[in-house]
Amino acid sequence: GQQVMQIPQYQHVQEGEDFTTYCNSSTTLSNIQWYKQRPGGHPVFLIQLVKSGEVKKQKRLTFQFGEAKKNSSLHITATQTTDVGTYFCAGHDYKLSFGAGTTVTVRA
């Protein structure tokens, strides 16, 4: 069955630094979605990527979808304390499968 792997599980970042979280699927995806869950909150949709090689930006966040549509990445520049939370990728073939998430903490 479809598996979505996400690394790293934890990311401790100095405020102002950049980091990247990676997502890999065992199968080719029709699309990939990214969600953010703040501590104590619920997952909130960030973005969806559909096309091979697609790149989308939201302010300091850059999302990429691999050429083979089996991997994706989220890059955050100049990390701020508001970026704290867990970032999930979710790959869609016949159903949506979530990665294990990357939990981000920020050192001021």
Which parts of this chain interact with other proteins (CB under 8 A)?
A: 30-31, 33, 35, 37, 41-45, 48, 50, 86, 88, 90, 92, 95-98, 100-101, 103
Closer residue to other proteins in complex, CB, 6/64? 6
Q: Which of 72, 67, 77 is nearest to 6 (CA)?
A: 72
Secondary structure (3-state) at 23: strand
**Rg of the chain (C-alpha set):** 13
Question: 68 near 10, Cβ under 8 Å?
Answer: no
As measured in angstroms, the least distance from the Cβ of 32 to other proteins is 9
Nearer to other proteins, 48 or 73 (CB): 48
What is the nearest approach in angstroms of other proteins to the Cβ of residue 86?
6
